[in-house]
Amino acid sequence: RTPQYPFLRHQSLQPVRKLPDALVIGVKKGGTRALLEFIRLHPDVRAAGSEIHFFDRHYPKGYHWYRKHMPPTLEGQITIEKTPSYFVIREVPQRVYEMNPAMKILVVVRDPVTRAISDYTQVVSKNTTIPKFEDLAFKNGSQFGLVDTTWIPIRIGVYVRHLERWLHYFPLKQIHFVSGERLIVDPAAEIANVQDFLGLKRVITEKHFYFNTTKGFHCLKKSEGHSSPHCLGKTKGRNHPPIDSAAIERLREFYRPFNVRFYQVTGINFGWP
């Protein structure tokens, strides 16, 4: 039987740039780069390499601009983009919904106290003159009493507040939560769940990872596209500065009720201290 439109069949073999099917929306310092690098090993996944910031910074440039920043895909491959600020920017959930109400959403979450320290560590690495963590996290002179909830690294960790804004637009079943802690200790198990959520065959397994004792993290064995084993870059898995234990305890107290609500809303106990 001669196909009626052989040229169409031919066309479907050409890679095309599509708007994303799935987004990693956060959280900043949760392990978003690790998640993206691990899931993009899958042959049915193509990911934008850098953070595109379409729904926050570049939204006025339009879908055409966004599509141009997506990787070429073959039929059947899914397109993923990660920009961790999406989770916390007010306008983003509605914009995502308007583009694609079926968008699959991924969020890596991590103990908000560790996340704040990780965020601070990143800031200090770029500007060594900023005050101590303890001086920024608490209101002036309150000696670890009043948490400064206006400081962005603190605000980001109130996950339930941000999640509630997303839930105005997307049902919970369309949002997959990855434990940042488990992603560190057992990446294959977390990636198995991510593959299930995305409707992908479980291709990425423990065989793709090895534990690098020098880095103290799991790294990737050699794979297609990488002729040698490789870890994430130096900016991932940094040493954190020592923080006063009373300050940490006070922050844990501050986050506890928000964490409990977050566990209730998601139905998952992340086990943060």
Q: Cβ closer to ligand A3P: 77 or 175?
A: 175
Cβ–Cβ < 8 Å for 46, 71: yes
**Which SS3 state, helix, strand or coil, does residue 139 take?**
coil
Question: Which of 183, 191, 198, 204 forms a contact with ligand A3P (CB under 6 A)?
Answer: 183
Q: Cβ closer to ligand A3P: 186 or 244?
A: 186
Cβ–Cβ < 8 Å for 220, 229: yes
In the numeric block, which tokens belong to residue 76? 């059947």
Residue 157 binds ligand A3P, judged by CB under 6 A: no
Report the site for ligand A3P in 97-156 (rule: CB under 6 A): 118, 121
User: Binding marks (x or -) toward ligand A3P, 236..265, rule CB under 6 A?
Assistant: xxx---------------------------
Task: Indicate the helix (H) or strand (E) that contains 177.
Answer: strand 175-179
Report the site for ligand A3P in 221-240 (rule: CB under 6 A): 232, 236-238
Question: Which of 21, 22, 23, 30 forms a contact with ligand A3P (CB under 6 A)?
Answer: 30
Question: Which of 21, 33, 78, 190 forms a contact with ligand A3P (CB under 6 A)?
Answer: 33
Q: Cβ closer to ligand A3P: 77 or 83?
A: 83
User: Got the DSSP string for 214-268?
Assistant: TTTEEEEPPBTTBSS-B---TTSSPPPPP--HHHHHHHHHHHHHHHHHHHHHHT-
Question: Which of 19, 184, 192, 243 forms a contact with ligand A3P (CB under 6 A)?
Answer: 184
Cβ–Cβ < 8 Å for 86, 156: no
Nearest to 194 by CA among 89, 85, 78, 73: 78
User: Binding marks (x or -) toward ligand A3P, 196..225, rule CB under 6 A?
Assistant: ---------------------xx-------
Task: Give buried/exposed letters for 82-92 (b at 16+ CB in 10 A, else e).
Answer: bbbbbbbbeeb
Q: Interface residues with ligand A3P (CB under 6 A)?
A: 28-34, 84, 118, 121, 183-184, 217-218, 232, 236-238
